[in-house]
Each structure stands twice: as C-alpha cells, then as structure tokens.
C-alpha cells in the first residue's frame, strides 16, 4: 500500500516503485470477479511497469472524478521513482488532481502524492525538494482523518523521509511499524511488502541479520503472490544481501533477468546487478 467507490466502475484502490508504493494507483483486485475490467487492466499494466498505458486507461474518468484523477497521478509519480523520468507528466496530473479535490480526505491524498513526488526527486538526486516533501506530508497528516485508509501510506512515506532524508532511524522505525500494523489490519498486502522490506532494512542496519532475512523473505513472498513483477528485482536483490553463497548469486542473477525483461527498470538498480 477498505476501498472508496469511484464512478463509472473505476475504484480508488491503495497499494507503489521502490521505495514507496502508490497511494491510489491500482492495487491487485482483492475480490476476483468483483473488480471492474478497468481495475484489472490498470493493475496488470502497472505491475509490469507500463505506467503510461495504465494512466491512459484512467484518463477518460480523471477529468471529472477526483479519485480517478488521484489514481492517475499516483501512477505517474510511481513511474518517476522507477525510471527517473516523466516528471512533467506527473506534475501535470498531480495539479489536475489537486484542483479537483473537494474534501479533506481528497486534499490529504493529493498532498501525500505531492510529498512523494518531491521525495522522489530528492532521493534520486534530480533536485533537492526535501522541504517541499516534508511540508506536503505534514499537510497530508493534518488533512487525513485518523481512520482514513490513506493513513497507512502516509505513515510509510513519513518513515521514508525520516530514514532517507533526515537520517533518524528510530523515527522511521516507529512510522514503518504504524504503517505495517494499519496495512495488515486492512489486508493491504502490497503495502505490507514495502513495510516488510524497510523494516528489514533497518534491522540489517542494526546488525540483526536473521530479522532482516525474515523481512526481506516476506516482502518477496508477497510480491510473488500478488504478481507485482516490477517490484520483484528489488526484492530479490535485497534478500541476496543477507543470504550466503551460492544462494545470493542465484538471487542476483534472477533479479538481473527480470530487470532486463522489464527494459532496465527500476533504473537505480542497474549498478547492483550482475551483467548479462
């Protein structure tokens, strides 16, 4: 990473790139047969790294429906994280979603995406937008009701800022734990795959290798079960870092195969993988 109904059979579903999943960009339908054809198509395209095609499916709805507009913006923000490209398209989609937002929850969701876009630009060394990221997520925290499903994603993203921009691992740990508990409570297994991954990363940072291995294994398992193909190579690479040989090499080789299959996505993983 409970659903909010959207008009014309398009639903707002929460799920995200590394290191953050999408707020409303299309998670795997949790009730096969009940999701609309658009839901399923958006998920299939997103899970294979075809964000522009997935966003195009939502375009007919996004002009008038805030949830669809937010969902479309979230997909394009995620594309930036995986490819370090598409910034103008993401910004344009996000501004459109912000203009449509009518209530606090919608404005909070838009602010959460604004924070993620700014965080992504900063962590990928495109442009330092760290102050904007903090301000936007702070605004989201003020707007989103305590019981909103989006609070789990918000806590997760605040953990990312604490870990990667502020270097305050204890604050990051607390945020990831809140996000993990909330995601587990609503069966948001995609978001759980991200919280497991980052909880494991903090464990490894503290030298807790067995705990880290468990978290990375759970993250990989969930992504395999969900069919989140574009998130598989990062999960395999993370697990390889805590496995002995020859398993570590096997995992990196599999990650490299998937990376090449998806056309070199995510781009930031290139230096961590063996050559073909």
**Mean residue pLDDT across the chain:** 89
pLDDT of residue 36: 80
Q: What is the mean pLDDT of residues 19-32?
A: 44
**Confidence label for 149 from pLDDT (cuts 50, 70 and 90):** confident
For 193, the token pair is 């795959």
> What's the pTM value of the predicted model, to 2 decimals?
0.89
CB atoms under 10 Å from CB of 162, counted, come to 20
Q: What is the mean pLDDT of residues 149-176?
A: 97
pLDDT tens profile 241-273: 999 999 999 999 999 999 999 999 999 999 999
Percentage of the residues of the chain whose pLDDT score is greater than 90? 84
- Mean pLDDT for the stretch of residues 62-83: 97
Give the pLDDT score at 274: 85
């Amino acid at each position: 990473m409970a659903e909010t109904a959207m008009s014309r059979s398009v639903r707002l579903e929460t799920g995200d790139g590394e290191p953050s999943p999408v707020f409303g960009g299309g998670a795997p339908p949790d009730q096969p047969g009940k999701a609309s054809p658009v839901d399923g198509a958006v998920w299939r395209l997103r899970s294979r790294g075809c964000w522009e095609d997935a966003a195009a499916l939502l375009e007919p709805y996004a002009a008038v429906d805030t949830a669809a507009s937010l969902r479309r913006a979230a997909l394009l923000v995620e594309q930036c994280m995986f490819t370090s490209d598409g910034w103008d398209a993401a910004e344009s989609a996000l501004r459109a979603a912000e203009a449509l937002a009518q209530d606090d929850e919608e404005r909070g969701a838009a602010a959460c995406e604004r924070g993620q876009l700014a965080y992504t630009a900063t962590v990928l060394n495109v442009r330092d937008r760290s102050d904007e990221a903090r301000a936007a997520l702070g605004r989201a925290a003020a707007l989103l009701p305590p019981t909103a499903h989006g609070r789990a994603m918000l806590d997760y993203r605040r953990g990312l800022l604490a870990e990667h921009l502020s270097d305050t691992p204890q604050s990051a740990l607390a945020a990831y734990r809140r996000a993990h508990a909330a995601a587990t409570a609503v069966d948001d297994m995609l978001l759980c795959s991200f919280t497991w991954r980052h909880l494991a990363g903090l464990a490894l940072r503290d030298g807790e290798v067995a705990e880290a291995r468990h978290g990375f294994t759970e993250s990989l398992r969930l992504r395999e079960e969900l069919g989140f193909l574009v998130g598989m190579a990062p999960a395999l690479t993370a697990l390889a870092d805590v496995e002995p040989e020859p398993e570590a090499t096997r995992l990196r080789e599999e990650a490299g195969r998937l990376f090449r299959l998806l056309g070199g996505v995510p781009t930031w993983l290139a230096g961590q993988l063996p050559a073909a």
